[in-house]
Structure 1
């Protein structure tokens, strides 16, 4: 290719268009309008902080920074480091005292469980219809009923007319129906099905059995070495298994770990054990029958193989996986997850469900738990953003928030 060819223009259908002259007044107006439409730095930052991806990037950065040394401790003179080590040793002694405190709390819980016992037994009898509560025990006015009372006063005339129209037969029928209902049907089943952690455990085939659940008791060990508690599930005689009481026991460690003493915060569940269930014939809901066809490779014949396999059920709760006795023993991730979930459920039943059963039945406890969770999440977000800054805070300026600036800058780099 010659130099002349290289300089030759390339053919194009586009026609060159020269600059279009504008009036100075119109140009100034357009520029002013553009300037007004250009968002400020604080507005841009505020919009970016509303982006979930920006928040996620900021959170990841903060989490990566957690636990990282700033270098200050390493830079201290040797004499100061020695004093810091002395404080650590004092902290270990403090944790030893804290373990003794929790041991006394355990014995105190055992003492007060005996004091609660008459209350829980009366609760059990009312639930199962063994006794009828007194009129004074049944008196309870909630906020909703107060509102209803106000409406009743306003519509008093209409209600009087309605009462006059009701027949004696209807009254007798209603009274008879009320008498047929004993206690509070499906009390514990309702709790299990309406509690987040437990509802996934309950299968359809578990429900008829859990309708037979009469009570749940917590038994604390008399000793603190080891520290234990047992959950007793009391059933009425039923067509599914022979036992009337199923047990689940938990062992807790109440001492700082020698390898990591500062991780000690409270007694920690380290092991659990269930009980054998004597299932009646054809009633074992933890197993299911599976039929599978197999083809013989040589003869080509087909046969049907029937075998029993594990089935999802709440009653697997009484057959937890074994925990290795050796502390250094490897536990696969699935087993570790099952044990962590099991420990959480045992703690929930002991600490919340048994003491506050009626509130879980009505849903009040779950609503309060959800409310507390939302508050904690809001506080966590505020802390990650460097304070209580939000759109509802008039004094909050994202452009002055270093955490917001770092998160926005990181997202720009990505």
Structure 2
């Protein structure tokens, strides 16, 4: 029978159901807690643990099958993405049959394809600037792109993503570039790997050619001298905002910039990693599958999703402020990074979104 408003709930007054802080430091806390429970409550809790084990078996089986299915569909998607890359890069021209398929169904049999020599601009190959426009089409990726990044991103030939072996929800995003004057690599890879401790992002950093690193700028400063007499100038590089900072290890980047590595910096690092994880999730589930919709402007720009996330973050900050006021002298230990299922943590990028139109 459900518990009614006026019904008393039976419990043992000796059982402390609160969560003491020392549980975070005591690996035997659970066993000790269970041993203090009345025998009948212990038995009921053990029954629940049994059913939870059965649930975990089913969930693990589901995750394994879902990962296998996604890997299978990655292979089925590949030929379609190959065709997309061919058209974008201009490695081949679309056939008349392909062009016809691109028309709305109501135009079938009504439109004749005819391109005169005057109209055919053979100097234009493929779809120039396709991927830059696609990345500019979503507010999250657009917010990271600076003007000095655009020339580099115009060399993008393809962006792919796929499921990785390992823990459920792991995937990789591959940026494929044509030959360029900026860095040596043809492919830059960002991998998202889920594990018991949370999420780890691994990167393939570009090997920048001399003087071509867009993540830094050159600054000239005058040193010494009075009233400009005898002053020497020193030229050095300083970090600057760039889309390509996502390929840098944050701790290494901070060390090069002379970071102190204090607790506030650690919190900033965690926020930056979460932003990059969010970007990769958006690329994997939305931008890459629906690239042409972002190119044409039909796809939503993602601002509504980010606004709802910001609203949740504001709620969390207000709750944190309230807790700090109530417990000024009490310091809670960290329980590890926000991982799968944690409030505010990004869920694994498994649910590929349908390509929506505005």
Which one of 288, 292, 295 corresponds to residue 361 of structure 1? Answer: 295
Distance 1:96 1:303, change over 3 A: farther
SS of the counterpart of 1:183?
A: coil
Query: 1:176: which partner in 2?
Result: 120
- TM-score when normalising by structure 1: 0.55
- For residues 244-259 of structure 1, the aligned pairs below 5 Å read 244-253=186-195
CA deviation after TM superposition for structure 1 residue 118, in Å? 1.1
After TM superposition, the structure 1 = structure 2 runs for residues 261-276 of structure 1, keeping only pairs within 5 Å, are: 270-276=199-205
How far apart are residue 304 of structure 1 and its match? 2.0
Indicate whether 1:138 and 2:99 are aligned.
yes
TM-aligned CA distance change 1:291 to 1:126, over 3 Å = same
For each residue in 1:359-379, what CA deviation from the matched residue of structure 2 results, as whole angstroms up to 9, or x when unmatched? Answer: 121222226x567889999xx
Counterpart Cα distance in 1 of 2:204 and 2:190: 7
Q: 1:313 aligns to what?
A: 242
1:349 aligns with 2:349: no
Where in structure 2 are there 5+ consecutive unaligned residues?
13-39, 111-115, 253-261, 311-358
- Mind listing any 5+ residue stretches in structure 1 that lack a counterpart? 1-70, 150-170, 258-267, 324-328, 378-414
Q: Secondary structure at the match of 1:218?
A: strand
Cα distance in 2 for partners of 1:278, 1:72 equals 70
Secondary structure class of the residue paired with 1:176 = coil
Q: CA deviation at 1:76?
A: 3.2
Q: Relative to 1, partners in 2 of residues 1:292 and 1:74: Cα closer, same or farther, differing over 3 Å? A: farther
Distance in structure 2 (CA, Å) of the matches to 1:374 and 1:294 = 46
What are the Cα deviations for residues 122-153 of structure 1, in whole angstroms up to 9, with x where unaligned? 1100111111222232234459x98xx9xxxx
**Could you give the per-residue CA deviations for residues 253-290 of structure 1, whole angstroms, max 9, x where no partner exists?**
2x6x8xxxxxxxxxx6x111112322112111111111
2:173·2:284 contact (CA, 8 Å) conserved in 1?
yes
Number of the residue aligned with 1:302: 231
Flag the structure with more relative contact order, 1 or 2, with Cα contacts below 8 A and sequence separation at least 6: 1
Partner Cα separation in structure 1 for residue 290 and residue 83 of structure 2 = 14
CA RMSD of superposed structures (Å):
3.9
CA distance in 1, matches of 2:6, 2:61: 34
Aligned residue for 2:97, secondary structure, equals helix
Give the Cα separation in 1 of the matches to 2:193 and 2:7: 38
User: Which structure has the larger Rg over C-alpha atoms?
Assistant: 1
Q: What secondary structure, in the 3-state scheme, does the structure 2 residue paired with 1:273 have? A: strand
Match of 1:284 in 2: 213
Which of 75, 79, 84 in structure 2 is aligned with 1:123?
A: 84
Label 1:374 to 1:241 Cα distance change in 2 as closer, same or farther (>3 A): closer
Following the alignment from structure 1 to structure 2, what is the Cα–Cα distance between the partners of residues 201 and 284? 16
Structure 1 counterpart of 2:70, from 104, 109, 115: 109
* Structure having the larger proportion of residues in helix: 1
Q: Deviations over 1:191-245 (max 9, x none)?
A: 1112110001111111111111001122433x32586422211111011111111
How far apart, in 2, do the equivalents of 1:205 and 1:307 lie?
19
Residues 374 and 220 (structure 1), Cα distance of their counterparts in 2 relative to 1, 3 Å cut:
closer
Confirm or deny that 1:198 pairs with 2:141. Answer: yes
Q: Report if aligned partners of 1:103, 1:224 keep a CA contact under 8 Å in 2.
A: no
Pairwise mapping of residues 7-406 of structure 1 onto structure 2 (< 5 A)? 75-77=9-11, 83=44, 86-87=47-48, 90-91=51-52, 93-139=54-100, 140-142=102-104, 172-173=117-118, 175-177=119-121, 179-221=122-164, 223-225=165-167, 228-253=170-195, 270-295=199-224, 301-322=230-251, 332-366=266-300, 369=302
What CA distance in whole angstroms lies between the structure 1 residues aligned with 2:7 and 2:285? 40
Tell me how far 1:337 sits from its aligned partner.
Answer: 0.6
Give aligned pairs, total.
Answer: 263
